[in-house]
Amino acid sequence: MVIAEPWRSRLLAMLCGALLPPAFAPLSFFPLSLVIPAIVFLLWLNKTAAEAARIGFWFGFGLFGVGVSWVYVAIHVFGYTPAPIAVVMTLVFVAFLALFTSLQGYVSGRLLTAYRNHPAYETLAILLILPSCWLLFEWVRGWMLTGFPWLNLGYSHIDSPLAGVAPIVGVYGVSALSLFSSALLLLLIRQPAWRIRSGIMLVVIWAGSALLGQIAWTEPVGKPLRVSIVQGNVPQITKWDPAKVSLRLDTYEQLTRENWDDSDLIFWPENSISMFYHDLKKFYFAPLEAEIRKRNVELIVGLPWLNLDTGLYYSSLVSIGATPGVYHKRHLVPFGEYVPLEGVIRGLVSFLDLPMSSFSRGERKQPILMAAGQPVAPSICYEDAFGEEVIDFLPEATLLINGSNNAWYGNSLAPHQHLQISRMRSLETGRMLIRGTTNGISAIVDHRGKLVARSPQFERFVLKGQVQPRQGATPYVRLGNWPVLCLLLAVAGWIGFDLRRRR
């Protein structure tokens, strides 16, 4: 495959990027996550570092331009930003994310140039350098500037045999095996001498991952809990409308009263109520709590929490009932929940000047939240995209609980992608997940990352089911991302040593 003109390589790279999102939810056609990287590897071969950077940029522009196009919905529809400005802001965001793949291409190109005269240049490039650089920059994107780990390759394999390694090495480990598989496929096609070896290694990787997926890393503890997840589907526009606050309050209270006789735990998602807990405590939550206690039910509510001493406020989950407690969100969304360089850029566009867009960050170490007698690992919306943070509450926690407000993104890819990410957290930790959203998709996920039940979107709905608390620790809970980072360090060390030796 030879593409001489640089613009054709860049155009093909952008097309490859645009075709990769269907590997993720809702289409979930994971074979694309094997084929597309192989094509991109091929585009990077024999390129200068500068040209590899350009190819990487256009690949990233296609990937994020399609995969996170839902950002426009949040900015324009619910952020009240004029369409032209919203388009520009979305394109700027996409271009910023594409800089990561551009830098990935540049680093790959520099290393490939250094190995250009090596007798096994192509094998080293395809099997070691290109997959390692991809994995490295997935990880970097996951933490730099608070992180944005969306569309990491590993998530596309939540329903493939490679998912079996997630409880051991997490989503980045799944990405590593996916990338290595892409490299083996490319070698199988390009190098006849590698066909048998590539085939054998692919069988070992995929069959071995499937076998590992049969291991039960955790075990049940206690009796199952009856759960009711309340999805109010109250229009997002009412969130800041004082005249509509009573609509939200009445909706969630009514749905709770209809379901508390056959529930141990009732869950209201993030932003189910948009008033401070303290403003509602006496006239709203106190009477509700009294009736809940009589029925031996617990309620967890997602709403803002004001610290009366400091004046700081948080996005929180509040447990009401026999074991009261509060969890404050620790990982905030830039521009959505806080504004970087606030004094400089706030007020430039309406999206940055919404009410309650200056939340404070909760402490990294917080008391564990209890729900119906069980310790839970809480996360609010975007937080469950960071597996290394979810495991802070494990192995003590026996369940995962996530409250999200997906109403920001309307009928887009975002709610489906987010559910896929949430499922990976269950698989990594060996815990069932209770996931409540304002307008869908609410879900109950088992300890292997499989959907037990899910709600429809854009409907007022109460999702009911049972969750089994579990105890024990997967290898990922104990080690986090360190095995993958050690692998990257080993590859970097070997390359550095080899290049110095060859000089």
Contact 24, 156 (CB under 8 A): yes
DSSP 8-state code for residue 334: B
- 455: helix, strand or coil: coil
Residue 355 has pLDDT above 70, yes or no: no
Amino acid in position 441: I
| Residue 355 burial (C-beta neighbours within 10 Å; 0-12, 13-18, 19+) | exposed
Closest Cα partner for 147 from 424, 385, 358? 385
The CA distance from 421 to 27, in Å, is: 14
Query: Which two structure tokens, joined as six digits, stand for 432?
Result: 């069932």
For residue 267, pLDDT beyond 90:
yes
pLDDT value at position 4? 46
Q: What is the rounded CA–CA span in Å between residue 14 and residue 306? A: 46
Q: Assign 3-state DSSP to the chain and report helix, strand, coil percentages, each to 5.
A: 55, 15, 30
The CATH code of domain 219-330+373-473 reads: 3.60.110.10
For 314-346, letters b (16+ CB in 10 Å) and e give bbbbbbbbeeebbbbbbbbbebbbebeeeeeee
The answer to whether the CB of 435 falls within 8 A of the CB of 377 is: no
What one-character-per-residue DSSP string does 164-223 give? GGHHHHHHHHHHHHHHHHHHHHHHHHH-GGGHHHHHHHHHHHHHHHHHHTT---SEE-S-
Domain boundaries, the chain: 6-216+481-502, 219-330+373-473
pLDDT score recorded for residue 236: 66
On the question of pLDDT at 79 being above 80, the answer is no
Q: How far apart are CA 78 and CA 410, in angstroms?
A: 9
pLDDT of residue 156: 98
pLDDT at 86 over 70: yes
The more confidently predicted of residues 344 and 363 is 363
What are the tens digits of pLDDT across the range 433-477?
A: 999 999 999 999 999 999 999 999 999 999 999 999 999 999 999
Which residue would you say has higher pLDDT here, 345 or 36?
36
Q: What is the pLDDT of residue 354?
A: 54
- Active-site residue list: 270, 329, 381
Please give the pLDDT value at position 145. 87
In this prediction, residue 349 has a pLDDT band, given cuts at 50, 70 and 90, of low
User: Is it the case that residue 77 has pLDDT exceeding 90?
Assistant: no
The enclosing H or E element of 419 equals helix 414-429
What mean pLDDT is reported for the chain?
93
Q: Evaluate whether 262 touches 255 at the Cβ level (below 8 Å).
A: no
155 has a pLDDT exceeding 50: yes
Beta-strand pair 461-467/443-445: unpaired
Q: What is the mean pLDDT of residues 247-273?
A: 94
Q: Percent of the chain at pLDDT above 70? A: 93
CB 470 within 8 Å of CB 431:
yes
pTM here is: 0.94
Of the listed ranges 9-13, 67-71, 339-343, the least confidently predicted one is: 339-343
pLDDT at 345: 53
Cα(104)–Cα(98) distance, rounded to whole angstroms?
Answer: 10
Q: DSSP letter for 129, please.
A: I
The pLDDT of residue 334: 77
Q: What is the mean pLDDT of residues 275-299?
A: 94
Residue with tokens 């991302």: 481
Give the whole-angstrom CA distance, residue 460 versus residue 449.
25
Predicted confidence (pLDDT) at residue 2 exceeds the cutoff of 50: no
Q: How confident is the model at residue 53 (pLDDT cuts 50, 70, 90)?
A: very high
On whether the CB atoms of residues 356 and 338 are closer than 8 A, the answer is: no
pLDDT cut 90: percent of the chain above it: 84
pLDDT of residue 206: 98
Tokens standing for 356?
A: 């309650």
Rounded distance, CA 138 to CA 232, Å?
A: 35
pLDDT greater than 90 at residue 321? no
CA-nearest of 168, 159, 172 to 215 is: 168
Region 376-390: mean pLDDT is 96
Residue in the structure block whose two tokens are 């209270």: 253
Q: Which residue has the higher pLDDT, 458 or 407?
A: 458
Work out the pLDDT band at 1, boundaries 50, 70, 90: very low
Sign of the Cα pseudo-torsion (449, 21, 331, 299, in order): negative
The single residue listed with the structure tokens 């995209």 is: 385
Mean pLDDT of 120-140: 97
Count other C-beta atoms under 10 Å from residue 211's C-beta: 11
Residue 352: what pLDDT?
54
**What distance in Å separates the CA atoms of residue 398 and residue 433, rounded to the nearest whole number?**
10
- Is residue 475 within 8 A of residue 161, CB to CB? The reply is no
